Structure 1
Amino acid sequence: MSRGSWMAPLALLAALVSGSLAADLAGRYVSLGKCPDITNKADFDAVPYLGRWYEQERYDSDFQIGMDCVNAIYSDMGNGYVEVHNTARTSEGDFAEAIGEAHVVEPGVLLVQFGGYPAEYHVLATDYENYSSVYNCFEEGEYRWQYAWLLTRAQFPSADLLATARQAFADNGIDLDSFHVTYQGDDCPYLP
Structure 2
Amino acid sequence: MRFWTFAAAAAATCLLVACRTPTPPKDVTVVNNFDAKRYLGTWYEIARLDNRFEKGLEQVTANYSLKDNGDIRVINRGYSPERQRWKESEGVARFTGSPTRAALKVSFFGPFWGGYNVIALDDDYRHALVCGPDRSWLWILSRSPELDAQTRTELVQEAARQGFDISQLRWVKQTPLSAR
- TM-score, with normalisation over the residues of structure 1? 0.71
Unaligned 5+ residue runs, structure 1? 1-19, 25-34, 139-144
Pick the aligned partner of 1:108 from 82, 102, 107: 102
Unaligned 5+ residue runs, structure 2? 1-13, 19-24
Greater strand percent: which structure?
1
Alignment of 1:4-153 (within 5 A): 36-90=26-80, 91-106=82-97, 107-116=101-110, 117-127=112-122, 128-138=124-134, 146-153=136-143
Identity level (%): 30
Greater helix percent: which structure?
2
CA distance in 1, matches of 2:166, 2:71: 31
How well do the aligned residues superpose, as a CA RMSD in angstroms?
2.2
Q: Is the 8 A contact 1:36 1:172 kept in 2?
A: no
Q: AA paired with 2:118? A: V
Pick the aligned partner of 2:171 from 155, 169, 181: 181
CA distance in 1, matches of 2:79, 2:176: 13
* SS of corresponding position for 1:38: coil
Change (3 A) 1:62 1:113: closer
The alpha-carbon deviation at position 167 of structure 1 amounts to 2.8
The alpha-carbon deviation at position 46 of structure 1 amounts to 1.0
- Structure 1 outlier segments of 4+, above 3 Å: none
CA distance in 2, matches of 1:137, 1:104: 14
CA distance in 2, matches of 1:53, 1:41: 17
How many pairs are equivalent? 151
- TM-score, with normalisation over the residues of structure 2? 0.76
Pick the aligned partner of 1:162 from 148, 152, 155: 152
The alpha-carbon deviation at position 58 of structure 1 amounts to 0.6
Q: Is the 8 A contact 2:114 2:133 kept in 1?
A: no
The alpha-carbon deviation at position 162 of structure 1 amounts to 1.2
Q: AA paired with 1:131? A: H
